[in-house]
Amino acid sequence: MTGSEENADTGAAAGRGGTALRVDDLAVVGHPSEVEIISGVSLTLERGHILGLVGESGSGKTTLGLSLLAHCKRATEVSHGTIEVSGNALTGLGEKEVRRLRGRAVAYIPQSPASALNPALRLRTQLTEALHEWDEQERGPRADRVREVLREVALPDDDAFLARYPHQLSGGQQQRVAIAMAFAGYPDVIVMDEPTTGLDVTTQAHVLQTIRSMTRDYGTAGVYISHDMAVVADLADDIAVMYKGEVVERGAAARVLAEPEHPYTRRLLRAVPLLRTEGHPEPEELPEAPVLELSGVQAGYGRTIVLRDIDLEVRRGECVALLGESGSGKTTLSRSVAGLHTQFSGGMVFDGEVLARSSYRRTPEQRRRVQYIFQNPYEALNPRKRVRELILAPYTHLAGKPKDPDAVVARALERAALPASYAARYPEQLSGGERQRVSIARAISTSPDLLICDEITSALDVSVQAEIVELLRNLQDGGMALLFVTHNIALVSNIAQKVAVLNKGEIVEHGHVGEVMARPRHGYTRALIADTPDFELSLPPSDADLQAPEAAGQ
């Protein structure tokens, strides 16, 4: 249905046409609660097409993706519906028959290549394993096929490379090996579960390019699971939007992006940060001294130096973004400012006073005024404490015992846009976005002057990310200075006034956001901007659907 509408424009694949995948009224339930994790899902997909399956975490994307492989996670099972791959029903088959079909009819590219490849096996062994149903009589030796598929994903095919172990490859190479494994057996359908999430933008661009050309050349139908609308807009022919276990909208990509029908789709689209904004009004340089001033900071671990000659200033009410890919040293820098990383030299002045290296050597007042928010909200809150305690304990430690503790907690929660009743909850009763809000509430309860945000949205869905950014903007309007560490260039445009681009431990470009985005001077910045999937929103800017009450609760 969705695929047949635009069967014509896919070149090579069109010749091999036909439906590769048909899912009809599929439901998966979990035991022992009998909750329907996904329900009433119907999909069709043509050969050579890619279906983008989008939705936030917990919407059932992965469950659906795995069920296409006739695999269900522990304590779940397909309760209803059928899955057909090239006309063969997958549902109702025995374990042995399913195993024969995997890799040949359906293949899978997992989210994290590092954990998907067996660290104890050489690449040759792993790639050959993927050809377990390969008929050597008919199709030639397996070894030849392995080399061929490696060439196709633009990796070396020599013996030295085949003899390597996964840890000897970069993240992007590992993911391309995973792609090669999946495509090796000429599958009809390939399921990709957020295969670029852990990769930086440059590598992501390469991997997406590989996926695109491989599906076209092989006439394989691809199901690409992601929460990143920008990537899906770039890659997919069709889009299916999942929300609370159901497909709420599906259709050709161009149509869904231009004229979304379902309110949730619209909300998802609007949450995607735009790469190029007009830039914020350039604030005049105030004469007052900066809150934080770094000069010639050099930091490292043991003898390895990861940061060199860092000069940076953050003023009141200003947000400075620190942009860099993994390994650029951005977290080391932010942890040094927070007093968690002590192996650094150079000047670090906070409001006119030199900051000691370790947080334990700093004055209580300095510790109160510099607060840090962590990347992963699932690890930043002690799971054994209630929200009330999580906020009160640091508050009491830094600002003394409050006269009215409930008021302190309520005020902090309110500033983080959470209801006061959340004080009684434990972290596990909160969603990822809510946890991050609690982290923010904890950090701002003592009214700090400098807030360091270390990739605080990278573990969150796009829609939640937009809300957190909004929240930070409000805090900034209240006079708080922000040091916003991120690898997401699109976010920088949306929150920061100034940006410092960090490459291999050095700041290669520094200036106002509008200027850097519009006229990047350094080659590295230009490459970063070029590799980021650009996403132009064609929706009218305001819509009543934005008021959907579930937005914060997910």
Partner 1 sequence: MSTADTASGAAPAAPVRRPGLLRTAWRFHRTKIGVVLAGAVLLVAAAGPFLSPFSPTEGAGMPNSASAAGTLFGTDEVGRDVFSRFLHGGYTLVTIAVASALAGVAAGAVFGIVAGYLRNWADELIMRTNDMLLAFPQLVLALLLLSILGPKVWLIVAIIALSHANRVARVTREATLKVVEQDFVKSAEAIGVPRWRIMAAEILPNITSPLLVELGLRITYSVGTIATLSFLGMGLQPPQADWGLMINEGRTAITIQPWAVVLPVTAVAVLTIGANLITDGLSRASIGIDRGVEK
Cα four-point dihedral sign 237, 238, 241, 242:
negative
Q: Which is nearer to partner 1, 221 or 491 (CB)?
A: 491
Q: Where are the alpha helices (DSSP H) in 343-421?
A: 364-369, 387-399, 405-415
Return the number of the residue (209 or 358) whose C-beta is nearest partner 1: 358
Nearest approach, Cβ of residue 107 and partner 1 (Å): 26
* Residue 73: CB minimum distance to partner 1, A: 8
Measured from the CB atom, is 45 or 271 closer to partner 1?
Answer: 271
Which of residues 397 and 521 has its CB atom nearest to partner 1 in the complex? 397
The answer to whether 372 and 442 are in contact (CB under 8 A) is no
Residue 301 CB, nearest distance to partner 1 (Å)? 15
Rounded-to-integer distance, Cα 340 and Cα 360, Å:
9
Least distance (Å) from partner 1 to the CB of residue 367?
A: 5
Residue of 264, 552, 52, 237 whose CA lies nearest to 64: 52
Going by C-alpha positions, the residue among 276, 280, 278, 260 that lies closest to residue 268 is 260
Q: In angstroms, give the least distance from the CB of 431 to partner 1.
A: 9
Question: For partner 1, which is the closer residue by CB, 16 or 473?
Answer: 473
Nearer to partner 1, 308 or 411 (CB): 411
Query: Hey, what are 483's tokens?
Result: 């040091």
Closest CA to 263 of 235, 243, 289: 243
Distance CA 382, CA 301 (A): 27
**Least distance (Å) between residue 450 CB and partner 1:** 12
Say whether 292 sits in a helix, a strand or coil: strand
Nearer to partner 1, 252 or 539 (CB): 539
- Supply φ then ψ for residue 62, to 5 degrees: -70, -40
- Enter the tokens of residue 73: 């996670």
- The angle that helices 432-444 and 462-477 make with each other, rounded to 10 degrees, is 20
Nearest to 243 by CA among 398, 10, 64: 64
d(CA 53, CA 69): 15
Q: Shortest distance, CB of residue 379 to partner 1, whole angstroms?
A: 4
Smallest gap from Cβ 376 to partner 1, in A, equals 6
Q: Are 155 and 177 in contact (CB under 8 A)?
A: yes
Tell me how far, at minimum, the Cβ of 90 lies from partner 1, in Å: 22
| Residues in contact with partner 1 by the rule CB under 8 A | 30-33, 35, 37, 74-76, 338-340, 359-360, 362, 364, 367-368, 371-372, 374-376, 379-385, 393-394, 397-398, 414, 417-422, 424-426, 428-429, 439, 442, 467, 470-471, 546-553
Alpha-carbon distance of 371 to 396, in angstroms, equals: 15
Closest distance of CB 381 from partner 1, Å = 6
Cβ closer to partner 1: 209 or 429?
A: 429
Identity of the residue, 148 or 550, whose beta carbon is nearer to partner 1 in the bound complex: 550
Torsion sign, CA atoms 313, 316, 321, 327:
positive
CA nearest to 488, candidates 266, 308, 280, 228 = 228
Closer residue to partner 1, CB minimum distance, 351 or 467: 467
**Shortest Å, Cβ 217 to partner 1:** 39
H or E element, residue 371: strand 370-373
Nearer residue to partner 1 within complex by CB, 527 or 537: 537
335-343, Cβ contacts within 8 angstroms, sequence gap of 24 or more: 335/372, 335/454, 336/297, 336/299, 336/307, 337/292, 337/294, 337/370, 337/450, 337/452, 337/483, 338/370, 338/372, 338/452, 339/367, 339/370, 340/372, 341/299, 343/299, 343/300, 343/301, 343/302
Residue 78 CB, shortest distance to partner 1, in Å, is 14
Query: Between residues 31 and 99, which has the closer beta carbon with respect to partner 1?
Result: 31
